[in-house]
Structure 1
């Protein structure tokens, strides 16, 4: 027998979300009708066809005969779970649905206990989607054929026939695609039609500056995230009324025009059975410069598609293109490059306009952005070589983010690069990156102080070089790119340390497990460094125990972040960045609650093993896993690459039933009276607060005026990393390679809030628009945000400080700003 096939998506999530029973199908219950009205089905006719055949035709027929054929119950139950897909093979290529003239035959064997089905010619081929081993699911079919008994035609009957297993067609059955697939499959074509219709109305409303008409195209609980494009800030607005006010304020001065839908990125996505959207990317020109955007459409109860999320991102500055591609230096350089480069690096002919403190990935990436916007910046790095902050860490250190996620601006990693980068390899890459892009970096250069003139707001920055000489620069812009705490270790101290006969180290001082072969080691701390170091010791045969602080609740995770956007064969990095940033953090909080449950289920065996040995697990804020911990604490989790199983299996010992009381001569004493022998104790307890290096260089007055740097504000945006810090001309660049890649451009572009004066590079028209404040048109009361720390709070503690996000001279009124000095 032959059957024709057409490729289609898996329908399981849709059907399983309705939990149908035999009664639902035989009685055509409201639940059955609700499934047929699921809003995803009109967008995906392939899925609709499969479900209609499976439920209405195959299951409908079998459920009807169950009372007299109870032996079919196991098959029906399997089909209700979609462990088996049912097909309805009536149609023939030469006869369509004409049951009276079908040619497929089913001849009874002489023994009378079986039938042989036969397709006599091409026109008798059955035609039905999804007859191949797709979705990793076996299939059975109700095949209509002419019943032949001892040569006599007894008319058309249905026969229950296995079609394929999970992996291959059943013996004697062939399946082939009868029509070529098209570049746009039916679901994509339908999604494209929905995107075109919505975007046409959106374009008309935005270009007409009609805020109310644009807001009518949004879901009532919509979210609009804007990075610099319309607000000159990082803002997220919630709900159609607030979005309407924001658009009413910003459409005219931003003057969006030339809106275009980038149709190649329109897609229908269904991450969960109860969640689906049509996603699209669009572009437009604004006063500030070119803008890219993302929208996601969801169906309403009335069947109308509206945007649930909109994202707008400033890609560049009008009139200031990056000096790449067609804008690169076109002139030959015969014999002058070396001297010219040396003078540029020495800042002999032109002083820097920007000083960047720190030459790790964050400092280098923002330096590269500035250089190719035509702004001279000088990076001052205290280490002897670029990359030493990675090169001098423990040799087992390896990135837990993938290569696709970690590409750097202008110079991505080559296709030969490993998926997870060893730290020494990354260190060499950073050094080569600075050299290849001709970034101005002074190594062995320590900034001793930076003083801001209160009137001019200019910074006088003093730098001491390795040869003992000093150099002073006067600049308007000072960027701290020193990482979390500027590399200053943070560790607790305990009584009796002077009595301990062994060695006490911070993880920043640890180099290799080979240094302690044959010794007993205790590692205090259970985040990434703690796990990595313990695994290194175990792999070298060293007796190692992990001590987890009693109050700790660690969130271990298999890595799942961003795999859809950053993977082999995935979209270009700039598209991945756009899509990744287009999810507001309020929404990501909810999504990651579900993701965390999925990960917990997938890792159940490992997590159960951790619980069995006493490892205390935590699931982040409201069960949202590592994401919100990263945004609020920059810690408290571990992305598992294998060490969790070593702990669960007892290969790495665990001590977490008591707090450390102090040291003894041969180890550690605990508050419950227990002891732990140790020759080496390593504190993997992180680094000091991000504000500390700023305080050391700029002084108390500046750091007291500084907003919280890390942590989320009320809108779900980071407080002041990459944006206005509350101190004119002072900025903080920090984060992993991916965050620095994306946000280094934002820091190199315009001011982050409508409160600030022009910053690094900015055309006058954009500057005028940036100074225009948002106005409030509602009747809500003004919300005064107190900039002083709460009673008893550490003013240098960034963790969890999410309520202070405005300059002291300004108060927030709804989505607007009012200068209270006026």
Structure 2
């Protein structure tokens, strides 16, 4: 049996909920299909100590300010999960859970969505599946011979899992800095932090509020044909959240250049030095989750789908939301996704009415 709806939103995390909010306000008939069993998107799977970069009021989806978390300037992940669950309920968003989408295909004037709980035939699709379920692991020599534990950011939870161990954290971004700091501050973990270039910390007074403004200003400059400001990357790579500042200022973050290879018992560098390791944590980023769009044959050589704003150039009935700056400035953030969700919803409303 084929289900009927004007629009399907694929993904029930922050981007999918923001899209649902605007579609509801515009009177568009839609359903949100989410592969997870509970609300909260990727936030329900992060490490225990993760906190937002911004205060609650600057980390909100459209229509509903995130309430402050008592005792916390920067809310933790559990607070975000509770906020997203409340948001979904408050706006009565039609989320169907346990609905993993396998394929989106062209079907004449419609798009056909095949999920494990059924099939939908729709006029438009918003893909908002994010990146969390597609971690990236670099091809580093020796990965297959290392005898210790290897895990990605998605598998890290707490320092206690590595008590008394030697751990190499790989990656010079926010995740690498925060996990290295989390382990170092525990006091009973020997941490080596390996990065491809020296870590670039943003000024200590920079948080998500300023980053959103910088990303928006860059997009505006590009849209108006002015000089590229460089955006957030011109300021640095790492937001100096309190635990990172504490570990950095205490001299607990031992930084080394990227090793040349892993060995059975650790890592070796080009200068001949070696560090023993019981575990390697790869904080090496993610790739967009787009396998369900493969039948549309839209992906370029770098794996991205060419878009104008959020609309796919090769399929105007498809919008991509929340994957990063290529689908809107700061669109992978709570505060940033609202604007691009609004624009996508308006274009879809005009398409289906």
Q: How does 1:151-300 map to 2 (within 5 A)?
A: none
Q: Which residue of 1 aligns with 2:65?
A: 412
Q: Which residue of 2 aligns with 1:653?
A: 254
CA distance in 1, matches of 2:84, 2:74: 15
Q: Can you give the 5+ residue segments of structure 1 that lack an aligned partner in the other structure? A: 1-346, 465-469, 567-575, 592-620, 631-635, 711-718, 752-756, 762-822
Report whether the alignment pairs 1:428 with 2:82.
yes
Q: How does 1:617-766 map to 2 (within 5 A)?
A: 624=230, 627=232, 637-642=237-242, 643-644=244-245, 646-647=247-248, 649-656=250-257, 659-688=258-287, 690=288, 693-699=289-295, 701-704=297-300, 720-723=308-311, 725-734=313-322, 735=331, 736-750=333-347, 758-761=350-353
Q: Which residue of 2 aligns with 1:439?
A: 93
Q: Is the 8 A contact 2:104 2:292 kept in 1?
A: no
CA distance in 2, matches of 1:535, 1:367: 37
**Which of residues 102, 121, 126 is equivalent to 1:479?**
126
Change (3 A) 1:587 1:374: closer
> TM-score under structure 1 normalisation?
0.38
Q: Secondary structure at the match of 1:747?
A: helix
**Which of residues 374, 386, 392 is equivalent to 2:45?**
392
Report whether the alignment pairs 1:461 with 2:53.
no
CA distance in 1, matches of 2:296, 2:36: 25
Q: Is the 8 A contact 2:50 2:77 kept in 1?
A: yes
Aligned-CA RMSD value = 3.5
- How far off its partner does 1:352 sit? 2.3
Change (3 A) 1:647 1:413: closer
Q: Is the 8 A contact 2:311 2:317 kept in 1?
A: no
CA distance in 1, matches of 2:308, 2:303: 7
CA-to-aligned-CA distance 1:427-473 (integer Å, 9 cap, x gap) = 121122112211111222110111113x42x1110111xxxxx3000
Change (3 A) 1:433 1:463: same
CA-to-aligned-CA distance 1:45-90 (integer Å, 9 cap, x gap) = xxxxxxxxxxxxxxxxxxxxxxxxxxxxxxxxxxxxxxxxxxxxxx
- How far off its partner does 1:420 sit? 1.3
How many residues align structurally? 339
- How far off its partner does 1:685 sit? 0.4
**Which of residues 165, 184, 191 is equivalent to 1:544?**
191
Q: Secondary structure at the match of 2:281?
A: strand
Change (3 A) 1:518 1:486: closer
Change (3 A) 1:402 1:728: same
Q: How does 1:292-371 map to 2 (within 5 A)?
A: 351-371=4-24
Q: Secondary structure at the match of 1:367?
A: helix
Change (3 A) 1:442 1:581: farther
- How far off its partner does 1:704 sit? 4.7
CA distance in 1, matches of 2:100, 2:115: 5
Q: Is the 8 A contact 1:589 1:628 kept in 2?
A: no
CA distance in 1, matches of 2:10, 2:234: 27
Q: Which residue of 1 aligns with 2:153?
A: 507
Q: Which residue of 1 aligns with 2:328?
A: none
Q: Which has the larger radius of gyration?
A: 1
Report whether the alignment pairs 1:533 with 2:129.
no
Q: Is the 8 A contact 2:140 2:260 kept in 1?
A: yes
- How far off its partner does 1:555 sit? 5.3
Q: Secondary structure at the match of 2:299?
A: helix
Q: Secondary structure at the match of 1:497?
A: coil
CA-to-aligned-CA distance 1:462-513 (integer Å, 9 cap, x gap) = 111xxxxx30000011111122x35300011334334323110001111111
Q: Is the 8 A contact 2:265 2:276 kept in 1?
A: yes
Q: Is the 8 A contact 2:135 2:286 kept in 1?
A: yes
Q: Which residue of 2 aligns with 1:800?
A: none
Change (3 A) 1:529 1:721: farther
- How far off its partner does 1:694 sit? 2.7
CA distance in 1, matches of 2:205, 2:136: 27
Q: Which residue of 1 aligns with 2:327?
A: none
Q: Can you give the 5+ residue segments of structure 2 that lack an aligned partner in the other structure? A: 323-330
CA distance in 1, matches of 2:132, 2:92: 24
> TM-score under structure 2 normalisation?
0.83
Structure with bigger RCO (C-alpha 8 Å, 6+ apart): 2
Q: Is the 8 A contact 1:708 1:720 kept in 2?
A: no
